[in-house]
Amino acid sequence: MSPYVWAWVAFVGFGAGWVRGFAGFGFSVLCMAGLAWYVSPALVVPVVVMLEMFASIQLWRGALHCADKRWLMSLVALNVVAVPFGVGLLVWVPVEPLRAVVAVLLFVAAFTMRFVLRTQLTDSTWLRRSCGAAAGLLNGLAASGGIVVGLTMAAAGVQASALRATMIVYLLCADAYAMLLMLLAYWLAPKAENVFFTDQTPLLLMALGVPMLVGVYLGKRVFQQTSGKDYRAFVLNLLVFLTSVGLLRLWFI
């Protein structure tokens, strides 16, 4: 990759980290939306999953006890089924069509969450399972299932402490499972259309991870100085904008 692309990777890592520190979510999906047109999604997803796992491990203590067990069991069970489909697309779909698939799915998810999930939803088995299936597919394909889970649970009226704890445990389980599948695919399908790990993976991990840490720190400081009332709308507006740009690139390029 050119120095300009590496600079853009660092900028996206900082910006997505700032949003994570400010809003508490959104790092993965913003990384995918910002990088998918410059770096192969198959290279970005494992790095983002590793960074998300690192963040979840740091917060694991005490989270399992406070998690909403009904939501957690539904999410994990449906992820076991749905994540392999997402990883399969990531492995076998050629890079350019894969970028198109990621752009369309992220835009649909962003638009739905911004303009549809604005009112209270009824917490039900159907809702939990639908959320788990959608999150699992996005988690395997674009490491972006967390934002679907977080906003759906919030719209369903899950208590904030239980939502946060459930997200921590869910993301660690889902990311560990997705990473296991990617490692298996890397070993068992060496001639696949896309590969997950190359000599650029450590560099990509550093280029995203270090600016992310700085961004998270600064984002937390800004959040502490504001009411945080509209942070969800802020993140979703940004996500709709980025995914719209991705679709425009898909249309005109």
pLDDT higher than 60, residue 228: no
Average pLDDT over residues 130-136: 92
Per residue in 180-222, pLDDT tens? 988 888 787 666 656 677 888 899 999 999 999 898 888 877 7
DSSP assignments along 79-128, one per residue: HHHHHHHHHHHHHHS-HHHHHHHHHHHHHHHHHHHHHTTTS-----HHHH
Rounded to the nearest integer, the mean pLDDT of the chain is 80
Per residue in 14-39, pLDDT tens? 998 887 777 666 788 788 878 877 88
pTM of the model: 0.76
Domain ranges across the chain: 3-252
